[in-house]
Structures are given as structure tokens and as C-alpha cells.
Amino acid sequence: MPGRGRTAAWAARWRRLRASAETRLPVLSEVANRLLGGNLLDGGTRLAAQAFLAAVPLLFAVAAFAPQSVRDQLRDSLRAMFGLSGRSDVELQQILGDSADAELRETTGAVGLVVALVSATSFSRAMARICERAWALPKSRTRVAVWRWVVWLMVLVLAVLLQGPLRNGFGAGLWLGVPLYFLVSTGVWLWTQHLLLVGRVPWRLLVPGAVLAAVATSALGLTARLYMPNALNRALAEYGSLGLVLTLLSWLIVVCAAITFAFTIGAVLAQEPPLSHYLETKGPSVPDPDPHETT
């Protein structure tokens, strides 16, 4: 039949084009294979869940025990990150402000601190596994990696606290804040990979993943200021606190999935032509895993 013949011809032409593209640019084939076969979305979702489980109790711990100046800085940074206004801003003020009962805040903060300490290292381990899977590396030994998890969390908390002045260009406005945020994000994601991979991959090979992650988080940061205020206020009005949780978790899934994809694509780009020729890569040095001391 004519229709069946045309379909076969188009299929054959598509196979020839794909084979030609894979021959000329093998990196495209490798990226497609990694994205389709690496369960990256599942990894990003698990990372988002761990981030949420660490962030929420930590927020209550900060509200209970941190000085007022730190709480004010955190409130300003969260406003800058999400463009909070209306009811969602009122909810944030109730958590970080002085209006809550002191005894209730201390009790809630103590529980939040315990939960945060328990779940925080799980978040660090999840991020480390994202980096290791991107480079097809085994798990690092616990005694080597554990202090790195703690340091990474401390720097991440500091980065969140500085979001307000950073995004505003330290008072200069968005014309400086946007490129400054991108540069700082690139540095943070570059350092994150180096730290959590325990230095098993050279710095220069981590640059593509860091740049892609910075592009993704910068774009999502700008989008959040436009989308999140209305989404959070609408969720609060319709579903109460449950709506707030679901909205924030959905946003975290998008962000963590974007970081997961960025690290994976960056690893492929760094090891495949044509970028590998400029990076002079021979592949990361992978030590033999210790079966008795893994995370």
C-alpha cells in the first residue's frame, strides 16, 4: 500500500539520519541514553523529598533558637527566592517573627532540630549519590565522606541566608543581582560536585555540569518570583497548610530534577567529543570501592 511504503521510507530515512548524527556527534547518543536509562527523574524526586524533610524542621529550629537578625535575614532571603506576598508572607512572618509564644516556639524548635539533624545527612547522601551516578562512580567510604556531608549542609544554609542581598545585587538591583547570582551558583555547584565526589574527578571536568546547573537554577529562580506567590496564596486559600506543602514540594521536585539532569549531562559533555578535546580528559580516576565501608 502507498501509505505503508511512505511510512517505511520515512522510518528508513530517520534511521539513516540518527546513525549519521551518532557518528558525527556521539555525545548526543550518549546524552540520550543516559537521560532515558538512568532513572534521573526518580533520583531528582528522592532528592527533593530529602531536601523538604531537612528544610522544614530546620526552619522551625532557626525560628526557635536563632537570633532575631538571623531570622530577619532568612525571612528576607525567602521573600527574595519566592517573591512572597499576601497570605504566604503572613505565614512566614508568623514562623520567623516574635509573635509566637516563646515556650511553644522552643518546644517546636527542639523537635525540629532533632528531626533536622536526623534527616540532614540523608539529604547530603542523596546529593552525593546524584553526583556519583552522573559520573558512574561507586559510593565513597563513610569515614572519608561524612565530614563533607556536614560541611556541604553548612555552606548550603549560608547560601540560602545570603539569597536576599545576592539576588538584589547587594543593593544595586537586578542588573547586578542576576549575573552575580549566576556566577555564585556556578561556583557553588562546582564546589558541590568536587566535595561530594571526594575529589575523584578533576575540577575542569566538573565545569560543564556546574554551568548547566547554574543556568537551570538561575532560570527557575527568576520563574519562581513570577509563579510561586500566586501559587502559594491560592494553595493556602483552597487547601490550607497542606496546599502550601504540596506547592513547595512540587517546586523542589522541579529544581532537584533540573540539577540531576544538569550534572548528568555535564558529565557526558565533559567526557565526549568535542568538549573533551578542550578539557583534555582521559576520564575520572575511579578508586576501587571498599565493600566494608560504603555509605
Question: What CA–CA distance (Å, rounded) separates 165 from 150?
Answer: 25
Confidence of residue 289 (pLDDT cuts 50, 70, 90): very low
Q: What is the rounded average pLDDT of the residues 95-109?
A: 58
Q: Are 170 and 84 in contact (CB under 8 A)?
A: no
Confidence band of 285 (pLDDT split at 50, 70, 90): very low
Q: Dig out the grid coordinates for 69 from the structure.
A: 537578625
Residue 188 has pLDDT above 90, yes or no: yes
**Looking at per-residue confidence, does 209 or 10 come out higher?**
209
- Considering the chain, what is the average pLDDT of its residues? 79
Tell me, what's the pLDDT at 271?
Answer: 83
Query: What average pLDDT does range 272-283 have in this prediction?
Result: 65
150 neighbors 121 (Cβ within 8 angstroms): yes
Average pLDDT for residues 199-205, to the nearest whole number? 92
Query: Stretch 202-210: mean pLDDT, rounded?
Result: 94
The pLDDT of residue 239 is: 82
Residues in contact with 177: Cβ distance below 8 Å, sequence separation at least 6, in sequence order:
166, 167, 168, 169, 170
Band (293; pLDDT cuts 50, 70, 90): very low
Q: Give the least confident one: 10-14, 105-109, 235-239.
A: 105-109
Rounded (5°) CA angle 59-65-69? 85
Q: What is the mean pLDDT of residues 149-176?
A: 87
Is the pLDDT at 222 greater than 50? The verdict is yes
Question: What is the DSSP code string of the chain?
Answer: -HHHHHHHHHHHHHHHHHHHHHHH-HHHHHHHHHHHHS-HHHHHHHHHHHHHHHHHHHHHHHHHHS-HHHHHHHHHHHHHHHT--THHHHHHHHHHSS-S-HHHHHHHHHHHHHHHHHHHHHHHHHHHHHHHHHTT-PPPPHHHHHHHHHHHHHHHHHHHHTHHHHHTGGGT-HHHHHHHHHHHHHHHHHHHHHHHTTT-S-HHHHHHHHHHHHHHHHHHHHHHHHHHHHHHHHHHHHHTHHHHHHHHHHHHHHHHHHHHHHHHHHHHHHHSTTHHHHHT------PPP-TTS--
- CA-to-CA distance for 131 and 127, rounded, in angstroms? 6
Cα-based distances in Å from 228 to 10, 61, 77, 90, 146: 44, 24, 14, 15, 34
- The answer on pLDDT for 187 being more than 50 is yes
Q: How confident is the model at residue 97 (pLDDT cuts 50, 70, 90)?
A: low
Answer whether residue 208 shows pLDDT above 90.
yes
| pLDDT on residue 141 | 77
pLDDT for 150 equals 83
Within the chain, what is the greatest distance between any pair of CA atoms?
Answer: 81
pLDDT, tens digit (0-9, with 9 covering 90-100), for 75-86: 888 888 887 777
Specify the pTM.
0.81
* More confident position, 195 or 282: 195
Whether residue 282 is predicted with pLDDT greater than 70 in this model: the reply is no
Average pLDDT over every residue of 137-144: 79
Question: Is residue 119 over pLDDT 90?
Answer: no
C-alpha cell at 82: 519566592
**Out of 9-23, 80-94, 185-199, least confident range:** 9-23
For 226, the grid coordinates are 513570577
- Label residue 106 by pLDDT band (50, 70, 90): low
